[in-house]
Structure 1
Amino acid sequence: MSTTMSYRRRSKDELAARVAQDIFDGAVVNLGIGQPTRVANHLPPGREVILHSENGILGMGPAPAEGQEDYDLINAGKQPVTLLAGGAYFHHADSFAMMRGGHIDICVLGAFQVSATGDLANWSTGEEGAIPAVGGAMDLATGARQTWVMMDLLTKQGASKLVERCTYPLTGLACVKRVYTDLATFECTPQGLVLIDVVEGLAREALQAMVGLPLR
């Protein structure tokens, strides 16, 4: 079987829509800084998903229309957001109590690396001059009932961000359940990676060569 078929990567919005597709009705969800915030714009109509922000918001809506931004209403990444009917603001300490107390069903985070068994590294690459920014990621990664990662599969240099063992400082151990990427979706298990889906035209053998790890 040829592994050179043409394929197209998921755009950032297509990836966000793929993540949103798997969020169940009634879920309380925290969307991390960066790419994960796009998920709010792609939640299926009629599905109730309660979005949480660690700076103290519950009931966030999609991003505001251009010109309708209110910079007194922002998420943890300082992006303007909207508030749905019934939404609430509260103290930062209460927000972290929700995160640490197991009240968040799903958190969606970005990552620098994820191991095959679900270890997460997403706050520092150790580069000289880089500013480490762990934020609430450790609290979310261990406190949420499920941790999902949303990221490009490969670095700009072409290396896989899915690795046998993380080489960057860890955020959490064996905490990642699923990894959604521009090329495929994976589940992390104690036995390694399970392939859930792959973009059309990309052969399994080619994907496994990119990742460099067995895919069940």
Structure 2
Amino acid sequence: MTAPDGWSRDEMAARVAADIPEGWVVNLGIGLPTLIANFVPVQREVMFHSENGVIGVGPAPEPGDEDPWLINAGKQPITLRQGASIVGQSDSFAIIRGGHLDLCVLGGYQVAANGDLANWSTGRPDEAPAVGGAMDLGAGAKRVWVLMEHVARDGTARLVRRCSYPLTAYGSVSRVYTNLAVIDVAPNGFVLRACAPGITRDRIASLMTAPLLVEGGS
């Protein structure tokens, strides 16, 4: 499988940012999801949480303005929004496990048609056996969205009938954003919500191993 470009990584992140409702508390997973904080204007009240104990993550700092003491869970430099707080990791995970996150946006290796998520391991023997906080986030957030490229680097599908990689969470994903499309995970499977400019439904469906439905039809 070979995928066309579709949205850039920044455009993918901006699309997610535009869809987050006012007032939500949102965890941004390691990797691509961290870009989302760059596209929420300061006048919008969206509180970004990082599992290492930051509540109120702002956009990435300008080059040269990094503070080595301000990082996210992926050890990337961050800024703080007005009103931000720094808490201990036990308090940070109490927020996650206590159901206080309106949304978590995670990266992914695979998402299944029933909402299962695999995002911490591809099962290779040389990988570190550590799921980190992703399992807590997948189970504890009120909603889970996934932001990822539509296919893997080798062209294999990431939107699948059933995950073949070790699972992070069962049935937790409700929406997927890729460089080609916005796709909801409904009780009947994947439902197409939007296509990237120049990308057709047939092209999107051809790069999946599970059926792609359209709202109100098949």
Whether the TM-score (by the shorter chain) exceeds 0.5 is yes
Equivalence for 1:33? 30
| Aligned residues: CA RMSD | 1.4
The one-letter amino acid of 1:69's match is E
Deviation sequence 1:116-173 (CA, Å, 0-9, x none): 1110001111112122331110111111011000000111121110010001111111
**Stretches of 4+ aligned residues off by more than 6 angstroms:** none
Equivalence for 1:181? 178
Residue 211, structure 1, aligned to residue 208, structure 2: yes
Deviation sequence 1:72-118 (CA, Å, 0-9, x none): 11111111111122111111001000001110011000011100111
The one-letter amino acid of 1:43's match is V
Secondary structure at 1:206's aligned position in 2?
helix
**Equivalence map 1:153-168=2 (5 Å):** 153-168=150-165
- Which moves more between the two structures, 177-186 or 195-204? 195-204
Equivalence for 2:137? 140
Structure 1 gap ranges (5+): 1-6
> Which residue among 110, 123, 126 is the counterpart of 2:107?
110
Secondary structure at 1:87's aligned position in 2?
strand
Secondary structure at 1:211's aligned position in 2?
coil
TM-score, length of structure 1 as denominator length: 0.94
> Which residue among 199, 203, 207 is the counterpart of 1:202?
199
The one-letter amino acid of 1:107's match is C
Q: What is the percent sequence identity of the aligned residues?
A: 54
Deviation at 1:44, TM superposition (A): 4.1
Equivalence for 2:21? 24
Secondary structure at 2:212's aligned position in 1?
coil
Change (3 A) 1:44 1:86: closer
Equivalence for 2:60? 63
The one-letter amino acid of 1:22's match is D
How many residues matched?
211
TM-score, length of structure 2 as denominator length: 0.93
Work out whether residues 8 and 199 of structure 1, in 8 Å CA contact, stay in contact via their aligned partners in 2. no
Structure 2 gap ranges (5+): 214-218
Deviation at 1:207, TM superposition (A): 1.6
Equivalence for 1:3? none
